[in-house]
Amino acid sequence: MTNAYTQRHQDHQAQAQTHTANLERLLATANQLYRDRSVVVSLFDRPVTNSNVRRIAQAYQRAQQLSDVGLQHALQVLDALNASDIKNSQVDIGRLAQRLSEGTDAQQVLTDAQAQAGIGSDGATDVVLYGFGRIGRILTRLMLEDSGLSRGLNLRAIVVRKSQANDLVKRVSLLERDSVHGWFDGTVIADEDNQAIIANGQYIQVIYADDPSQIDYTQYGINNALVIDNTGKWRDPDGLAKHLQSQGVAKVLLTAPSKGDMKNVVFAVNDNDITADDKLISAASCTTNAITPALKVLHDEYGVQAGHVETIHSYTNDQNLVDNYHKAERRGRAAAMNMVITETGAAKAVAKALPALKGKLTGNSIRVPTPNVSLAVLNVTFDRAPADAETLNNFMRQVATSSEWSAQIDYTDSPDAVSTDYISAKETSIFDAKATIVSGNQAHLYLWYDNEMGYSAQVLRVAQKMAGVTTPKLV
């Protein structure tokens, strides 16, 4: 006779088998859509295409924490998508499934989403990465994830300074394996005969140069390119304009805060300021991108009267591993041994993207002995006080599940959340609800952010906007 414990065990086992079978069907259909029609499927901003069953299960578990969407609802949307003629698009079946509760069927949901989606331009824009350090290699990984799309950013070349005889092999090795983000998802080959990298079958020319003015990109078949300068060497308009003197370059995007008169863009906050005539744009800093979206929604809801931003930031390559001379104060002390107080321009930089907060924020930073993932602590005084911490948390939870902000702001209420949980997170920040403190019109808020991956994802969103190749996204 089967006792109650055995029966529960068998019931859960049967449920798990059914759940796994549904996830396998979801994965197979999504991959077929990608191969046949260049459709990239996601589930509440977590990738389904080219993923695996375990990762999709994790994405679904997260979706249940944010919404009451069931897996069967998502499968209904996926089946309708498979039966449609939609192509060259990104489709979030989780967010579309939320609309089913409104009484519409899956096909009608897709039709409505198509009508609302913006349409990108045909073809792709050539991209050159000037520099191949931490951000350059992560940008490469992100662009190659979407290389199956016939629209978007087409990585054609990287530009570096040659350092040694086996330079190419070394750079391929660093792209292939990463101490923080793990192995490259695919294959990477060094083509030494042609000085190129073959990554997931895509040919990427490696150009050795010490200065942009030395390069004629057209000889490599590169035209009207967008150069993403991730060296940080030139941060003012005059310096960056050197790229525009190169044959084959149309526009330049800087992956650092700019100096001088140049637009600093935080995607989803002020990317509408980008015009077709803009040749030079800055994507600001990782911290600016982490805090500005959250400050924007908080200001719109409660009114930010004043605030202080303290960033607990992982050490970066500009610090010393052991005590040695450094032109900046304190950064010469051993990065892996010390907490290092240093300055940050992120608080002031917020005003360039969000003028309503000009003069209202101060900021400081503490570099800590971790290689990646940082934490921004916002101490904010509001005009209109939230009732309590739960009210503010519920508001941020709704923001994180909205199609408008989900790519920038995520939400967690885990009692055990720590920094390594957010390695490789593509959202610019993750709001930690458990740490929220509200006292009257004063609030203390905590935002985790992967200062490498999250920032790089924002850079690519700005790059797509500059190039006019944003792929239609159905959400």
Each residue's pLDDT tens digit, 235-251: 999 999 999 999 999 99
**60-64, 205-209, 298-302, 442-446: lowest mean pLDDT where?**
60-64
Instruction: Please give the distance of CA 379 from its chain centroid, rounded to a whole number.
Output: 25
Q: What is the dihedral of CA 235, 238, 240, 243, to 10 degrees?
A: -170
Mean pLDDT (the chain, rounded): 90
Number of domains within the chain:
3
Same domain, 154 and 294: no
pLDDT tens column, 6-19:
888 888 888 888 88
Same domain, 86 and 145: no
pLDDT tens column, 154-182:
999 999 998 788 899 999 999 999 999 99
Find the mean pLDDT for residues 117-126. Answer: 62
DSSP state of 270: S
Find the mean pLDDT for residues 362-386. Answer: 97
Percentage of residues of the chain with pLDDT beyond 90: 64
Specify if 265 maps to a domain: no
For the chain, give percent helix, strand, coil, nearest 5: 40, 25, 35
Residue among 91, 128, 286, 361 flagged as catalytic = 286
286 part of the active site: yes
Phi and psi, residue 130, nearest 5°: -95, 100
Find the mean pLDDT for residues 328-344. Answer: 94
Same domain, 110 and 133: no
**Residue at a domain's end among 59, 83, 116:** 116
Same domain, 194 and 96: no
Same domain, 100 and 158: no
Same domain, 427 and 303: yes
Confidence grade of residue 119 (pLDDT, cut at 50, 70, 90): very low
Same domain, 238 and 363: no
Same domain, 30 and 56: yes
**Residue at a domain's end among 72, 93, 116:** 116
- Say whether 431 sits in a helix, a strand or coil: strand
Q: What is the CATH number of the domain that holds 138?
A: 3.40.50.720
pLDDT at residue 120 in the model: 43
Element (H, E) at 333: none
Specify if 471 maps to a domain: no
Strands (E) in 131-240, as ranges, are: 152-160, 188-191, 196-199, 202-208, 225-229
Q: What is the CATH number of the domain that holds 349?
A: 3.30.360.10
Does the structure show a pLDDT above 80 at 147?
no
Same domain, 198 and 296: no
Domain that holds residue 322: 286-451
Specify if 267 maps to a domain: no
Same domain, 108 and 129: no
Same domain, 94 and 162: no
pLDDT tens column, 42-85:
888 888 888 888 888 887 777 666 666 778 888 889 999 999 88
pLDDT at residue 300 in the model: 97
Specify if 275 maps to a domain: no
Specify if 467 maps to a domain: no
Specify if 277 maps to a domain: no
Same domain, 434 and 363: yes
Specify if 272 maps to a domain: no
Specify if 9 maps to a domain: yes
Find the length of the chain.
Answer: 475
Residue 186 CA to residue 227 CA, distance in Å, equals 25
Q: Which two tokens stand for residue 346?
A: 């992120």
Q: What is the dihedral of CA 182, 187, 190, 195, to 10 degrees?
A: -110
Confidence grade of residue 98 (pLDDT, cut at 50, 70, 90): confident
